């Protein structure tokens, strides 16, 4: 059996973490096993990791002191050896984790996955970009834009970066009217109401303040509209205050740490994602597997439109967003079921996991 060490922050319900857990659940654990070196404390998925046979090692983050972070890694790799070490990179500095895995742990296969297609720390990212381009000997990304952002256009053009899609377990996400009816009843959403959904942590990249402006315009066009926000984060209270000032707070439902994302997507009539940037939004892929139309910002990669039900709009014009959102939410359930049939095979978790295992484990040489 080959064991891989995954180096990450707390394993909460972010896009990179969800990608890893989908792979982990589906991969043949008689051949491959994942262990986790988590910097920053416990997270949502920890108990599931342990139940799947993985080990978890906790450590401090770089921001808690670089010397402490470095000494913790050095101490860890003195007693733990892994040939394969994986790091999801939200910024270029994270590739340093792989450098120390090789220096102190003698790891041979250093796998990096790009998780973003932009960053608010642009100068900082550019400063450490050479590390991300040269330290890993295997590079994967969910989209071309995410690949170029983290690993450079040269590596992409040379074929050194492999695209590994955000996979979906379609057995869970295939739309059924029964599940839709059940969850709408739980959420107290009537049949004639339109439910718009946003899934994502409350931080700057997700652009929740503009989401509030968009929903205000949606509600002005349709007083039967409601917004479901799924997620947590440091800007949640600020978002709540803004919605209260706009007098739309009573039309918004807030949920956190859900294990029924599939059913929430089935309950909705359209997804809104006005993000400032995304590597490849996992929630948009999942939404399409349920046949749910999505309206997303045009800063998001066009590669996320895998079944022709994703629509793009420029940021900064909430009225245009509202008109388009109300339009795509007006469809019948037969159309929803028809949308499901467009979901491509290569995004099914079985296919994605096979590709991941082939790239990461089946060849120990740089491809």
255 φ, ψ to 5°? -135, 150
Domain coordinates in residue numbering, the chain: 2-167+348-360, 170-344
| 45 φ, ψ (degrees, to nearest 5) | -90, 5
Q: What is the mean pLDDT of residues 135-161?
A: 95
- Of 147, 85, 110, 102, nearest to 366 (Cα)? 110
Task: State the pLDDT at residue 65.
Answer: 86
The confidence score (pLDDT) of residue 120 equals: 65
Sign of torsion, CA 316 302 231 319? positive
> Average pLDDT for residues 75-88, to the nearest whole number?
96
Cα distance between residue 354 and residue 321, in whole Å: 38
pLDDT band at 113 (very low <50, low <70, confident <90, very high): very high
* Residue 331's pLDDT band (cuts 50, 70, 90): confident
Q: In terms of pTM, does the model score above 0.85? A: yes
Instruction: Assess whether pLDDT exceeds 90 at residue 137.
Output: yes
Give the full edge-to-edge strand order of the sheet including 84-89: 56-59, 32-39, 2-8, 84-89, 109-114, 138-141, 161-163
In the predicted model, is pLDDT for residue 119 greater than 80?
A: no
Q: Could you tell me whether strands 252-255 and 194-199 are parallel, antiparallel, or unpaired per DSSP bridges?
A: unpaired
Helix (H, G, I), strand (E, B) or coil at 137: coil
Q: What is the CATH number of domain 2-167+348-360?
A: 3.40.50.2000
Q: How far apart are CA 282 and CA 111, in angstroms?
A: 20
Q: What is the mean pLDDT of residues 304-319?
A: 97
Same fold, 2-167+348-360 and 170-344: yes
Q: What pLDDT, on the 0 to 100 scale, is given for residue 126?
A: 85
Q: How confident is the model at residue 265 (pLDDT cuts 50, 70, 90)?
A: very high
H-helix or E-strand containing 126? helix 122-134
pLDDT-derived band at 279, boundaries 50, 70, 90: confident
User: Is 103 within 8 Å of 261 (Cβ atoms)?
Assistant: no
pLDDT surpasses 50 at 294: yes
347-361 pLDDT, tens digit per residue, is: 999 999 999 999 999
- Work out the average pLDDT over 47-67: 93
Helix (H) or strand (E) holding 283, with range, is helix 282-289
Residue 308 CA to residue 149 CA, distance in Å, equals 25
Q: What percent of the chain has pLDDT over 90?
A: 87
Q: Distance between CA atoms of 222 and 205, rounded to whole angstroms?
A: 27
pLDDT in tens, 201-258: 999 999 999 999 999 999 999 999 999 999 999 999 999 999 999 999 999 999 998 9
Residue 8 confidence (pLDDT) = 96
pLDDT value for 366? 46
Please report the pLDDT score of residue 367 as a whole number: 44
Look at residue 127 in the predicted model and tell me its pLDDT. Answer: 86
What the block records as the tokens of 102 is: 């090789």
State the pLDDT at residue 64: 82
**What is the pLDDT averaged over residues 342-346?**
93
As given in the structure block, the two tokens for residue 254 are 């807030």
14: alpha, beta or left, given left = phi > 0 and alpha = psi -120 to 50? Answer: beta
170-344 classified as CATH 3.40.50.1970: no
């Amino acid at each position: 059996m080959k064991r891989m060490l995954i180096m990450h922050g707390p394993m909460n319900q972010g896009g990179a973490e969800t990608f890893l857990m989908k792979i982990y659940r589906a991969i043949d654990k008689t051949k491959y096993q994942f262990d986790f070196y988590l910097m920053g404390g416990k997270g949502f998925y920890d108990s599931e990791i342990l139940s799947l046979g993985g080990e978890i090692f906790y450590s401090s983050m770089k921001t808690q002191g670089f010397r402490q972070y470095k000494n913790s890694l050095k101490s860890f790799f003195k007693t733990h050896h892994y040939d394969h070490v994986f790091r999801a990179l939200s910024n270029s500095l994270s590739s340093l984790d792989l450098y120390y895995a090789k220096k102190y742990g003698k790891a041979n296969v250093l796998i990096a996955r790009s998780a973003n297609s932009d960053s608010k720390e642009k100068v900082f990212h550019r400063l450490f970009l050479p590390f991300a381009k040269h330290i890993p000997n295997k590079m994967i990304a969910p989209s071309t834009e995410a690949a170029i952002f983290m690993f450079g256009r040269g590596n992409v053009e040379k074929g050194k970066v492999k695209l590994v899609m955000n996979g979906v377990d379609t057995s869970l996400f295939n739309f059924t009217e029964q599940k839709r009816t059940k969850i709408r009843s739980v959420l107290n959403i009537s049949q004639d109401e339109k439910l718009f959904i946003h899934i994502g942590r409350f931080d700057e990249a997700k652009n929740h303040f503009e989401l509030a402006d968009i929903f205000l315009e949606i509600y002005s066009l349709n007083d039967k509209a409601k917004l479901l926000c799924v997620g947590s984060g440091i800007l949640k209270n600020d978002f709540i205050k803004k919605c209260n000032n706009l007098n739309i707070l009573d039309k918004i439902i807030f949920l956190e740490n859900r294990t029924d994302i599939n059913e929430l997507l089935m309950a909705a009539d359209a997804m809104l994602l006005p993000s400032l940037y995304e590597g490849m939004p996992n929630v948009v892929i999942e939404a399409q597997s349920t046949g749910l139309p999505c309206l997303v910002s045009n800063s998001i990669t066009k590669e996320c439109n895998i079944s022709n039900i994703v629509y793009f709009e420029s940021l900064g014009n909430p009225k245009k967003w509202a008109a388009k959102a109300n339009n795509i939410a007006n469809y019948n359930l037969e159309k929803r079921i028809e949308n499901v049939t467009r979901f491509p095979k290569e995004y099914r978790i079985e296919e994605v996991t096979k590709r991941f295992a082939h790239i990461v484990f089946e060849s120990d040489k740089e491809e």
